[in-house]
Structure 1
Amino acid sequence: MAPVVASRDVRLAPPATAMVWLGPGRPHEAIAVPGVRLDVGDVLVELELATVCGSDVHTVSGHRKAPTPLVLGHEYVGRVVEVLDDVRAVDGVAIGVGDRVVWSIMASCGSCDRCRRGLPQKCRELRKYGHERLVARWELSGGFATHVHLRAGTAIVRVGESIPAAVLAPAACATATAWAAVDRAADIIDIEGATVLVTGAGLIGLTATAIATRAGARVIVADPDPSRRTLARSFGAAAIIDPAESGSLARALRRLRASELDIAIEASGAAAAVSTALDEIGVGGVVVLVGSVSPGPSYALDPERTVRNLTTVRGVHNYDPADLAGAIRFLEEHAHRYPFAQLVGRPHPLSQLDAALERAAAGADVRVAIDPRL
């Protein structure tokens, strides 16, 4: 048996490029990274496409705290160019040079108490791509770059060549999170035949709508934006409502001949939507809160109503490796049924990252893309 190599220096010619964010109001600066040192279990990936998540926009606008300097970006798809030692994908198959892959937004230790409990997204030693301060020997730590240095403990899923990059890139955040939200509801209630409310028709909400619909649910989507409500129809929504319109949810339930809500998936983070999800859930129902990822007003939960109605409230933040694999499997089997690719606008080159972030902030597209090969 050949000895295990503890590390390997990989030279890049031409050098990799990473876009470094220095703080609110300041443009990104490009840095050249001529090489990386891979440790055991590390993988080097060349980016095919990255997309801008809402949290990236919140960070650059100053609404979300983040360390600087920082390479943002955590939605991506790419191709393996180097791998050190025997690295396995989520399905157990060895990762090899040339594999097209999507990877988790995080690297986990796998051995702490939280990892052992099945909560790798809350690992004691967690490192998150696109969220960590730039440091020596891990400059390629985010998706707004030509390459990303994957650390040991990152969940990696091999993907086929036929699915467009615009469909795959958001899987590393939005799609996997949507899968996790529906899956956690399914722990309590059978999705097939359930009446589901999804509040917020962003990428997480639209994807959760498609996933729940394919599983046999009737989904009501609530969003204040008429264009997003129209999109929700394309992703399988049985009913769409304007949450500002009094009585709209009750009317939607009557049209669907449903007596009450079985599941509510709150994907917007809006205080009014959280309130609606908790107040309107039916007896024995489950509320999955996924959109509240930044500080906001508190909500006064009625403990008596929660107890008497046998309500389950679950929080979903990020996901585990099985969720990422499930999200990719869903896209492989069903993406052609829904206009996922149309949610992603024309790609920007890496050099125009600041313009791409401005477009994302304006809400012109559900997702804005960055193609480092342009």
Structure 2
Amino acid sequence: MTTSSRAVVLEAFGEPLQMHTYDVPAPKDMAALVRVGFAGVCGTDVHLQAGRLSIPTPVVLGHEAVGRIDALGAGLTHDVLGAPLAEGDWVSWLNNIACGRCYYCLVEGRPTLCTGSRRIYGINQRADEWPHVSGGWSDYIYLQPGTVLVKLPEVASPQEAISLGCAGPTAVHGALDEVRIRPGDTVVVQGSGPVGMAAAMYAELAGARHVVVVGGPAARLETAARLGVGQAHVDIFETTDPAERARIVRAETRRGEGADVVVEATGVPAAVAEAIDLVRPDGQVSVVGQYTDHGPTPINPHLITRKNLTISGSWGFGARHYIGYVSSLPQLLDRFDLAALVTEYPLEQAESAVADVKAGSVLKAVLRIGGR
């Protein structure tokens, strides 16, 4: 029986990641111990290492992962959808546990805005406190009681399930919950990273007639085109003038008026003003990409009023978004080669994976830890 686990630890902001070894805990009641198979590397991990988000350190990174159940605590017999669980099952899990008691959890039904003790795997769980292995960049992860645990659909391989990481449920929230995409709509997605790609995929599943992906670099847009993600692709590095980009994008829309829905998934503040310019009168804008604070940007509020726009913010994702993502994997796989998004790295190369994500040289970096 394995008694120790390697784990990649962020000890201090701006410093190289460290490999530590921790004792593997036995699961208590309603908890689970999972042998991690694959763990995603997200843009948020780049921000965490750089110190752009206030989190406790040291921390085992990794807020997106899939793995096999190694041991189940007493009372944990089924996943959140009622499927029976057993050792060896491939599972994934919601990366946060909201407090369930604050105003936003109980009254507003918005657990992503939880103001209580919201626990997030791989982000705010200290590695120097029990159970230590509370992040996915580890041989094992301890899933605490209250975790939304989901058995993977048989049609989805672990690599396919992790291919969109937290981008999948983020897109379910931002592109399906906060705005309404109707069959026949024209949708513009700003951003060609994992969140933008996922948003474009879900726009198509929702029945959009025409999806325009505005992003870059060219290799990402070529991947999107090859996988059938979007019908038109506009390279921001090739067309650097926002006015010219707007002209090109509007030419892809009905009557040249603009998109029915624009999903901003760039993280660049100026893209929000551009989204307002790209959407048609009485259209909808979902601002998903501003996860870290890159500062203010000028906008023309007159356009919001004159166009009668609906603009929504979308912060993170909750249980229904995560379940929606996992449940939709069969439909996504019917249309898109999700595994083609992935570049794999061994756990020992986590630092290189983060660097490649920061450089934008890969679309989705994934640490292969346990594999199949």
Alignment TM-score, normalising by the size of structure 2: 0.89
- CA deviation profile, 1:136-174 (whole Å, cap 9, x unmatched): 212011111011111222222211344232221244411
| Residue 152 of structure 1: aligned partner | 145
> Residue type of the partner of 2:95?
I
Distance, in Å, in 2 between the alignment partners of 1:118 and 1:155 is: 16
Which runs of structure 2 are paired with 1:173-212 in the superposition (5 Å)? 173-186=166-179, 189-212=180-203
Secondary structure class of the residue paired with 1:328? helix
Distance, in Å, in 1 between the alignment partners of 2:51 and 2:247 is: 38
Deviates most, 156-165 or 134-143? 156-165
Secondary structure class of the residue paired with 1:46? strand
| Residue 299 of structure 1: aligned partner | 297
Sequence identity (%)? 28
| Residue 358 of structure 1: aligned partner | 355
Determine if contact 2:249/2:278 at 8 Å carries over to the other structure.
Answer: no
- CA deviation profile, 1:41-87 (whole Å, cap 9, x unmatched): 32211101011101112222344443211111111111112222434
Residue 319 of structure 1, aligned match among 293, 296, 317: 317
Determine if contact 1:110/1:120 at 8 Å carries over to the other structure.
Answer: yes
Secondary structure class of the residue paired with 1:20? strand
Deviates most, 19-28 or 77-86? 19-28
| Residue 6 of structure 1: aligned partner | none
Aligned: 1:289 with 2:287: yes
Residue 59 of structure 2, aligned match among 39, 52, 70: 70
Determine if contact 1:211/1:330 at 8 Å carries over to the other structure.
Answer: no
Q: How has the CA–CA distance of structure 1 residues 41 and 200 changed in structure 2, closer, same or farther, with 3 Å as cutoff? A: same
Q: How has the CA–CA distance of structure 1 residues 41 and 109 changed in structure 2, closer, same or farther, with 3 Å as cutoff? A: farther
Aligned: 1:169 with 2:162: yes
Query: Over aligned residues, Cα RMSD in angstroms?
Result: 2.2
Aligned: 1:55 with 2:44: yes
| Residue 90 of structure 1: aligned partner | 80
> Residue type of the partner of 1:356?
A
Q: CA deviation at 1:179?
A: 1.5
| Residue 112 of structure 2: aligned partner | 121
| Residue 225 of structure 1: aligned partner | 217
> Residue type of the partner of 1:368?
A
Determine if contact 1:185/1:263 at 8 Å carries over to the other structure.
Answer: no
Q: CA deviation at 1:365?
A: 1.2
Which runs of structure 2 are paired with 1:89-108 in the superposition (5 Å)? 89-108=79-98
Determine if contact 1:13/1:34 at 8 Å carries over to the other structure.
Answer: no
Q: CA deviation at 1:310?
A: 2.4
| Residue 9 of structure 1: aligned partner | none
Distance, in Å, in 1 between the alignment partners of 2:302 and 2:121 is: 41
Which runs of structure 2 are paired with 1:246-261 in the superposition (5 Å)? 246-258=243-255, 259-261=257-259
| Residue 143 of structure 1: aligned partner | 136
Distance, in Å, in 2 between the alignment partners of 1:354 and 1:339 is: 27
Deviates most, 217-226 or 84-93? 84-93
Q: CA deviation at 1:290?
A: 0.8
Secondary structure class of the residue paired with 1:167? helix
Distance, in Å, in 2 between the alignment partners of 1:222 and 1:51 is: 24
Determine if contact 2:153/2:329 at 8 Å carries over to the other structure.
Answer: no
Gaps of 5+ in 2: none
Q: CA deviation at 1:207?
A: 1.2
| Residue 349 of structure 1: aligned partner | 346
Alignment TM-score, normalising by the size of structure 1: 0.88
Distance, in Å, in 2 between the alignment partners of 1:330 and 1:265 is: 20
Question: How many residues are treated as equivalent by the alignment?
Answer: 360
Distance, in Å, in 1 between the alignment partners of 2:229 and 2:163 is: 19
Distance, in Å, in 1 between the alignment partners of 2:276 and 2:131 is: 42
Q: How has the CA–CA distance of structure 1 residues 109 and 185 changed in structure 2, closer, same or farther, with 3 Å as cutoff? A: closer
Q: How has the CA–CA distance of structure 1 residues 358 and 296 changed in structure 2, closer, same or farther, with 3 Å as cutoff? A: closer
